[in-house]
Amino acid sequence: MSEFERILVVTAHPDDVDFGAGGTVASFTAQGAYVSYCICTNGDQGGADESVARSEMPKIRQREQRAAGKALGVEDITFLNYVDGHLQPTLELRKDIVRQIRISRPNLMIIQSPERNWERIGSSHPDHMAAGESAIQAVYPDSRNPFAFTDLLEKENLAPWTVPEVWVMGHPHPDHFVDTTDFFEKKIQALKAHESQTGHMEDMPGMVRMWGERLGERGGLPSGRTAEAFKKVMTN
């Protein structure tokens, strides 16, 4: 049984959760937790195949993300459909994330880092940082505050909700390492579902295993174990 009954993951793009927290999500659903995703952008700037029309890419990315979610035991996925590459930490985005928090009522949120990670610049895409900043502002102070976005309560009957704990992936100074070794193959299955993003990668599983083993070593796990890393934030 998971210590967290309900978990909400907020990321910028389809596939972000699978790269950053796929093994962790699989471990939670295996323990009976209910996991929901909120994906901020439509992902239309992704993909390596220039023959695919950009107008078709959002449909492809959403289909891939739903397949990846199923591989990890997640079917509750909301796409906010902001334009890929243009994400900003606006009040509009904060409100959209607050809505998802109040709908999901999570005990734990997993978000992206609003801080730049100079050691792993790929995790610090501007959209990732914007999604992370908006998500943490939605957690505190907005979602718990009855006087923030009052129409969510008055018109949508979405009551304030306090998220007690947040795990930040891609953070430059992680302090919480999850052993994902037993769920590594599920993570790879989810990543392979993102065919438009990973199909062209040479030995993607080997690359992901290398990243995971480095994090495992950093987290003090035995040699050969894989991990995912987070900054743990208590909000109360």
Domains of the chain by start residue, with CATH: 6-234 (3.40.50.10320)
- Per-residue pLDDT of the chain (236 residues), as tens digits, is 789 999 999 999 999 999 999 999 999 999 999 999 999 999 888 777 777 778 888 899 999 999 999 999 999 999 999 999 999 999 999 999 999 999 999 999 999 999 999 988 988 999 999 999 999 999 999 999 999 999 999 999 999 999 999 999 999 999 999 999 999 999 999 999 999 989 888 899 999 999 999 999 999 999 999 999 999 999 98
pLDDT score recorded for residue 117: 93
Which helix (DSSP H) or strand (DSSP E) does residue 34 occupy?
Answer: strand 34-41
Distances (CA, A) of 197 to 26, 72, 102, 106: 20, 18, 31, 29
**Cβ atoms of residues 134 and 90 within 8 Å:** yes
Return the structure tokens found at 90. Answer: 């606006």
CA distance 217 to 81: 37
